[in-house]
Structure 1
Amino acid sequence: MDKKKVIVFTGGGTAGHVTPNIAIMNALDQERWTFHYIGSHQGIEKELITNNGVPYHGISSGKLRRYIDLENIKDPFRVLKGIWEARKILQSLKPQVVFSKGGFVSVPVVIAAKTLGIPVFLHESDITPGLANRIAKWFAAKIFTSFEETAAYFPKKKTYVVGSPIREDLFLGDTEKGKALMGFYDDRPILTIMGGSLGSKRINEAVREVLPELLKEFQVMHLCGKGNIERKLEIVSGYKQVEYLHDELPDILAATDYVITRGGSNAIFEFLSLHKPMLIIPLPENQSRGDQILNAKSFAKNGFCLFLEEKNLVTSSLLAHLRKLQREANDMKQKMGEYDKKDAVALLAAAINEIDH
């Protein structure tokens, strides 16, 4: 048998920069490929990757801030240190390819790979590329995007629109198991609230402010982020709160009727693929580069969601949008079913398998 090839994945900062990498790993033949991951020392990617049994290598990384901060002075040195550390790791592993999902930790890895002549593939999830991928595009051999609109930001000759890599296990959830996990057994529809892997303070507050009203119409599953459990609400019937979900997520989503979510591309493409009517409340521009707002507007234009800006998020607007979501759910599901979904995981795995052929 031929010697196994090595692929190094990178990306971090949020779960959306990690879970697509896991989806691609699961699609590659483990008899042919050995996986390694380079991420930050303390990022969420470390827990997610080590839980999947993949060797993990931590490096120094600077945060690519868009605001004035004293830490900005130190960050170039952290990035340079990260490049040096990534070079040492890559020289040791000798991978055939590096696959990057973005996030600030990916920049040193991508630059290091280029200096060693290792081809870099990168995937951009959002409509507009993040700062990390705007830097990384100059070092990439191939670039893949989720949205058609995104291709205009990258060199045409090496850019391919493939859609968003969706984990296969999300389609294998069991509705009854999901209901049992949540302790929900009556006829009210299930509303799942996901504020992203780090949670959302404003969405959490708004949901809890209006919880008595919500519980008249829904059973509520609330993923509120680490450290955001409200202990006094743990005894409320029809309301389940957790910090984060791992293996239980497919079953929870199978049982879910409606979703409130941020506008992260990976998450909303997952809900699109699962035909889950969603209300998107994207991160506001003062907390992001505005990418989630653009993602939400694109989905709303196609009839895949309702869209509510955080600045307009109050008790009355949340309830009004959820009632509208219920009214329009069937039309939304029909449009989701008509969406020309590319099998991004298969397309990306095929591109990776072509290396050295």
Structure 2
Amino acid sequence: MKKIVLTGGGTAGHVTPNIALMPSLVEAGYEIEYIGSYNGIEKQLIEAENVKYHGISSGKLRRYLSTKNISDIFRVLKGIVQANRQLRKIKPDIVFSKGGFVSVPVVLAAGHRHIPVIIHESDMTPGLANRIAMKKATAICCNFPETVKYLPAGKAHLTGSPIRQELLKGSKEAGRKLCGFNEDKPIVLVVGGSTGAKHVNEAIYDILPELLEKYQVCHLCGKGKKESKYETLPGYRQFEYISEEMKDLFAMADIVVSRAGANAICELLALKKPNLLIPLSAKASRGDQILNAKSFKEHGYSLVLDEDDLIKEDKIQGALLLEQINKLYENRDEFIKTMGESKQADSISTIIELIKKYSK
């Protein structure tokens, strides 16, 4: 039996595509092990899949000056030594990396041991972790045609993002039961990502009374970000994070308000869910979500509200958010039709074939 090591972490978006690949990897005859950080979200998600997990040291390499950059360099170096030790024991035929800073030591160690590496870049332009790691990559998968020009010649493969197939099998009834919702009002699903979205959360709270007049609201607010004072509002339900029941929440939702992480928007496209994207501001990121959202808006898949327009002079523009949510709901059929006409790539099969091709 061939062996594969998967890596990636820091956020759920760096883990769920790996999870989406697992059933097909098992079917293709691969034994799977995972290398991630000691206590990142990837540890919880992967161990829930009953996959053997190995924790290593990792550090965040920042694009700005910080004293933490010095200590984190030593954490990365320690992680490379640990990853090298794990790879020597596991003896994988190939490594597949979904990115995030924990993947850098693993990819560099795999390159040192001459183990083939496939990297997946979700965003329009490669992030810092993947820019470091791609030098050791055998092949690089990407989501957007625009991304190919940013990748080394001969390594780029346009595959799309692996989507968890169970997301397509959700139950509206199960979702409503979980949230205590009925069929009287449409449902808005607010997804801030696994770590939550502070400004999106604040904006939703700001307009919650008006929203609940017309909609029921299911709010995924992020770990440690639940607000107990809203718990008893009729028609409102909040969760820190949802994994297994996510398919049911998507199934019940009439429209979705979301960040614009690449994996999240690819899931929305596959599910044909009308969506309002609020990309993370360039002030707090490298601007990748802004580019992702722009692409989806141009294709007619999404409405987009810039975070800088949502928060002006530290004041929440709740009325603007409410206006966009109403606009999305009123035009939902048009968005569903446009998304239904998209040619979503069979990303899982394409990636599995690449893994087979480049395995030792």
Which category describes the TM-score, using the shorter chain as reference length?
over 0.9
Shift of 1:167: 0.5
Distance in 1 of aligned mates of 2:359 and 2:250: 39
Shift of 1:164: 1.1
| Corresponding position of 1:339 | 342
Distance in 2 of aligned mates of 1:162 and 1:316: 39
Q: Deviations over 1:45-81 (max 9, x none)?
A: 1111111111111111110112222111112211111
Q: Pick the aligned partner of 1:330 from 320, 333, 340.
A: 333
Q: Deviations over 1:82-105 (max 9, x none)?
A: 111100000000000000001111
Q: Pick the aligned partner of 1:353 from 345, 356, 359.
A: 356
- How many residues are treated as equivalent by the alignment? 354
The answer on 1:284 being equivalent to 2:287 is no
The answer on 1:298 being equivalent to 2:295 is yes
TM-score by length of 2: 0.96
Structure 1's 272 and 247: CA in aligned 2 closer, same or farther, altered over 3 A? same
Distance in 2 of aligned mates of 1:32 and 1:196: 32
The answer on 1:105 being equivalent to 2:102 is yes
Q: What is the correspondence of 1:57-68 to structure 2 with a 5 Å cutoff?
A: 57-68=54-65
Q: Is the 8 A contact 2:84 2:109 kept in 1?
A: yes
Q: What is the correspondence of 1:156-235 to structure 2 with a 5 Å cutoff?
A: 156-235=153-232
Shift of 1:30: 5.1
* Counterpart secondary structure, 2:141: strand
Shift of 1:328: 1.9
Q: Deviations over 1:313-353 (max 9, x none)?
A: 11111011111112221111111011111010111112213
* Counterpart secondary structure, 1:220: strand
TM-score by length of 1: 0.97
Runs (4+) of structure 1 exceeding 2 A deviation are 353-357
| Corresponding position of 1:259 | 256
Q: Which amino acid aligns with 2:156?
A: T
Q: Which amino acid aligns with 1:289?
A: R
Q: Which amino acid aligns with 2:348?
A: V
* Counterpart secondary structure, 1:49: helix
| Corresponding position of 1:32 | 29
Stretches of structure 1 that go unaligned for 5 or more consecutive residues are none
Distance in 2 of aligned mates of 1:157 and 1:335: 33
* Counterpart secondary structure, 1:29: helix
Q: Deviations over 1:179-210 (max 9, x none)?
A: 11111113211100000110011111110110
* Counterpart secondary structure, 2:96: strand
Distance in 2 of aligned mates of 1:262 and 1:351: 30
Stretches of structure 2 that go unaligned for 5 or more consecutive residues are 311-316
Shift of 1:29: 2.6
Distance in 2 of aligned mates of 1:305 and 1:187: 25
CA RMSD of aligned residues (A): 1.1
Distance in 1 of aligned mates of 2:356 and 2:169: 26
